Amino acid sequence: MPLLVDCSNCKTPLQLPPGANSIRCAICHAITRIHHDPRSLPPGPPPPHSFYPPPPPPPHRAPVVPPSSYHGALTPPPIAGRKKAVIIGITYRKSRYELKGCINDAKCMKFLLMNRFKFPETEILMLTEEERDPHRIPTKENIRMAMAWLVAGCRAGDSLVFHFSGHGSQQRNYNGDEVDGYDETLCPLDFVTKGMIVDDEINDTIVKPLPPGAKLHAIIDACHSGTMLDLPFLCRMNGSGQYVWEDHRPRSGRWKGTSGGEVFSFSGCDDDQTSADTSALSKVTSTGAMTYCFIQAIERGHAGTYGNMLNAMRAAIRNTDTSSGGGVVTSLLTMLLTGGSGAGLRQEPQLSSNEGFDVYRKPFSL
């Protein structure tokens, strides 16, 4: 489309052909040379004697941020996401399944998230028997609502944490999506009357909805918790720190991963093991062995990568002397229901994820 330029002598508007560097005025015959591409300059107002009507006013548009605002970046800078956490500690007071250290675990985890990882207190939902709000008592319905709240509105950049300290158990799997034939379960405060929360539901609620760019860390301090989130891959690590990712994708083809986000689960033990509720680690008060070792690994600088984190937790539990503190295993529920037994700290913390990765290269961060 021809462009208008003013004659350098008589200021008559001239139609400049596309690509031309000069033009001769038909009125005064002066030659006007174009030293800059006029397409890169904003058009000026037409002269009073122009034969062309003035252009219509441009439509209203939102302001455009110039590329220079990105300081040369090809894409806009990432948006800082929110930090949200659900923390659950259940002692099952005044019941045959009573534990001692689970509320201590919840309080310690909240302190860690707020002070070490800068989680806002307003974005931490605590469920324990000590809460006065009836919606924060760790019943089955309240735990379900808390899990839904955790992922509600989740978007890229968000960091979510789900921590549970209490009883865990197993039940027979009938749909063929478990390698060992058992579903893992969390035991809410009212599990005797309302039932347990099965790993399939946990996966559906907080794993599958996770969008690209978001991440979730689960810390499950309970028995039979190795695959409590039903994630596709479990890190099998030996005593020397060598590891392989074990494929736990169900043969049925049912997808157990995310919608693009990252999920990492640290659990207190393997699916066929028990987790301890003991004073042998802190020497002061009862805690869940796994929660205590998880926090200590971070505080002592052993959490640079996921592999270092897992090794530090396992070493701390393996080297624990239970002769003075004693260990009350959180599998008391299982022992009462199945007649099993357990003693000491014979648990091995586990790491599972929605995908395999190099555990010694990927930095750990909540």
The residue assigned the tokens 């489309």 is: 1
In whole angstroms, give the CA distance from residue 241 to residue 307: 8
Quickly list H helices, 31-115: 102-115
Catalytic annotation on 167?
Answer: yes
Q: Which of 154, 223, 235, 269 is catalytic?
A: 223
Closest CA to 174 of 186, 182, 163, 166: 182
SS3 at position 248: coil
Q: Which residue has the tokens 């736990």?
A: 248
Count Cα atoms within 13 angstroms, Cβ side, for 144: 13
| Active-site residue identified among 102, 163, 167, 224 | 167
Q: Is 31 exposed, middle or buried (0-12, 13-18, 19+ CB in 10 A)?
A: exposed
Q: Report the distance separating Cα 366 and Cα 348, nearest Å.
A: 22
Question: Which tokens sit at 208?
Answer: 């599958």
Strand, helix or coil at 105? helix
Q: How far apart are CA 350 and CA 43, in angstroms?
A: 67
* Nearest-5° Cα angle at 68, 64 to 70: 90
Distance CA 64, CA 265 (A): 42
What is the Cα–Cα distance from 272 to 350, expressed in whole angstroms?
12
Distance between CA atoms of residues 22 and 223, nearest Å:
84
Neighbours of 88 (CB within 10 A): 29
CB-based contact 45:60 (threshold 8 Å): no
Work out the end-to-end distance of the chain between its first and last CA atoms, rounded to an integer number of angstroms. Answer: 57
**Catalytic status, residue 235:** no
- Reduce the DSSP state of residue 237 to 3 states and report it: strand
What residues are annotated to the active site? 167, 223
